[in-house]
Amino acid sequence: AHELQTPLAVFQAKIDTLIQRTDVTQEQSEILDSLNENVSRLNRLNKNLLFLSKMENAVYNDKQSMSLTNCIQKNLDFFTEQAKAKHLFITIDAGEDVEIKSNPVLADVLISNLFLNAIKHNIEEGEINISIHNNSLTFSNSGQAQALNSEHLFNRFSKINPSEDGTGLGLSIVKKIADINNWTVAYNYKNNLHSFSILF
């Protein structure tokens, strides 16, 4: 993954330069847009693979106590605009605040990936319910009207919808972070809602 960083950066820079030109035809412009999308996807994939590699090499071993509610709120502020674009309704049901012990970077990535998953695989005017209770965190979202295949859900490169853009690494990163912290991850489908829970 490290070896890909420089070639991808060079490729992206060249595409950006070509996109800025005013003498390209409509057909060339469409090809450049397609190339740009694919390079962006490769960059995301490479970034996620590097992150997984760092976790496996214990780069994020240092832990500290933090408020789960604060972590949620920080990410909620960031993802609100994305949720608005799909007209999603977000609710938070929090009992007593849960204090977790984790590397701050890992905690932030775990929660942001759960947000991304709930937004990306939702329906227009759908809902996202976030619950903090009994030492657990649950993200529930509307989406496809059937349960997902939980057997491969947290595997690397496994996609909820193969036709959708994405790296297929989001939930596997969630699982890896949970494993590092000795937390449990579970998936459930009930009342037309897909729920992902972390038990601390």
Same-domain status, 46 and 89: no
Q: Which of 142, 187, 185, 175 is nearest to 52 (CA)?
A: 175
The predicted structure's pLDDT at residue 64: 96
Same-domain status, 105 and 15: no
pLDDT, tens only, 44-94: 888 888 888 888 888 898 999 999 999 999 999 889 988 999 999 999 999
Tokens of 33: 């847009």
Same-domain status, 177 and 80: yes
- Longest CA–CA span in the chain (Å) reads 61
Same-domain status, 20 and 43: yes
Distance CA 32, CA 72 (A): 37
Same-domain status, 30 and 74: no
pLDDT, tens only, 81-140: 889 999 999 999 998 889 999 999 999 999 999 999 999 999 999 999 999 998 999 999
Q: Which domain holds residue 185?
A: 64-199
- Tokens 């036709």 belong to which residue? 163
Measured on CA atoms in the order 186, 194, 139, 107, is the torsion positive or negative? positive
Distance CA 121, CA 164 (A): 9
Same-domain status, 77 and 170: yes
Same-domain status, 93 and 124: yes
Domains in the chain, number? 2
Average pLDDT for 176-188: 96
Distance CA 121, CA 59 (A): 30
Same-domain status, 48 and 96: no
Same-domain status, 103 and 193: yes
Answer yes or no: are the C-beta atoms of 103 and 63 closer than 8 Å.
Answer: yes
Percent of the chain whose predicted confidence (pLDDT) is above 70: 96
Contacts of 150 (CB under 8 A, 6+ apart): 187
Q: For the chain, what is the mean pLDDT?
A: 89
